Amino acid sequence: MFKFSELNIAPIKPHFTGDKIQLKRLVGKEIIVLKYTIGPSSKTDGDCLTLQIFYDNEKMVVFTGAKYLSRQIVSIPEDKFPFTTTISNTNQYYEFT
């Protein structure tokens, strides 16, 4: 009988670790973005951006439907990760700065 580890099956999506933190708590704070995924939201009809970040000496996870953040992050080449940033809120949308 085979062990699962011997089947060479890659994980379906990256594993994100840490406590969940709300995006609004990160506004104006410096964070390190480690990786991300974008997929269907379980709460709305749109997409959900999931960020693996390092903040306050801990790995954390952010879930957001912020479309502008999603548009920005897909334009960043993979070899530029991880990167530091702050998130600003213009009262109309969130953006990396």
At residue 43, the pLDDT reads 83
pLDDT at 13: 65
Inform me whether the pLDDT recorded for 74 exceeds 90: yes
pLDDT greater than 70 at residue 29:
yes
Residues 6+ apart with CB under 8 A from 25: none
CATH number of the CATH domain containing 51: 2.40.50
**pLDDT for res 79:** 97
The pTM assigned to this predicted structure is 0.83
Instruction: Determine, yes or no, domain membership for 10.
Output: no
Residue 3 lies in a domain: no
Give the dihedral of Cα atoms 23, 51, 54, 92; nearest 10 deg: -30
Domain count, the chain: 1
Q: Look up the domain containing 84 and give its range.
A: 15-96
